[in-house]
Amino acid sequence: MLAKSKQTKSGLVNYVYENSAFDLKDVSKCVNMFLTALSDSLGNGEVVELRGFGTFEVKPHKGRRAFDFKTGEIRQNHDYCSVVFKPGKALKEKLHKEHHEKDC
């Protein structure tokens, strides 16, 4: 199995910079503003839909009871939220096509 590569925020900024006519500072500001807007929207409980790419949504989880092996007590974990991403149709098709080409 091949090792997975990782794309970072600075890598995304460089990709956009190299494939556009914008200054690096402007691209960096734009990417940061986009990520801030995405975070703020999710923090406000909104669903963020990027048509053709996918949907980000906050999913609440109930806390559960857990056994603490150090103390021997059963304790209640707090409720928490996680971000769920559901890929859009175009992204699913692109991933399926690229995966199929690599395996054949």
pLDDT tens sequence across 27-67? 999 999 999 999 999 999 999 999 999 999 999 999 999 99
Residues 59 and 82 sit within 8 Å (Cβ to Cβ): yes
pLDDT of residue 98: 77
- DSSP-assigned letters across all residues of 23-64: -HHHHHHHHHHHHHHHHHHHHTT--EEETTTEEEEEEEE---
Residues 75 and 68 sit within 8 Å (Cβ to Cβ): yes
Percent of the chain with pLDDT over 90: 83
pLDDT of 2 above 70: no
Tell me the torsion sign for CA atoms 32, 37, 38, 42. Answer: positive
Task: Read off the pLDDT band of 80 (50, 70, 90).
Answer: very high
Residue 79: φ, ψ to 5°: -65, 150
More confident residue, 68 or 88: 88
Task: Read off the pLDDT band of 96 (50, 70, 90).
Answer: confident
pLDDT tens sequence across 17-33? 999 999 999 999 999 99
DSSP letter at 22 equals S
The CATH classification of domain 51-104, taken from the options 3.40.1410.10, 4.10.520.10, 3.90.45.10, 3.30.1130.10: 4.10.520.10
Q: Where are the domains of the chain?
A: 10-46, 51-104
pLDDT of residue 3: 60
Sequence-separated contacts (24+) of 14-20 with Cβ below 8 Å = none
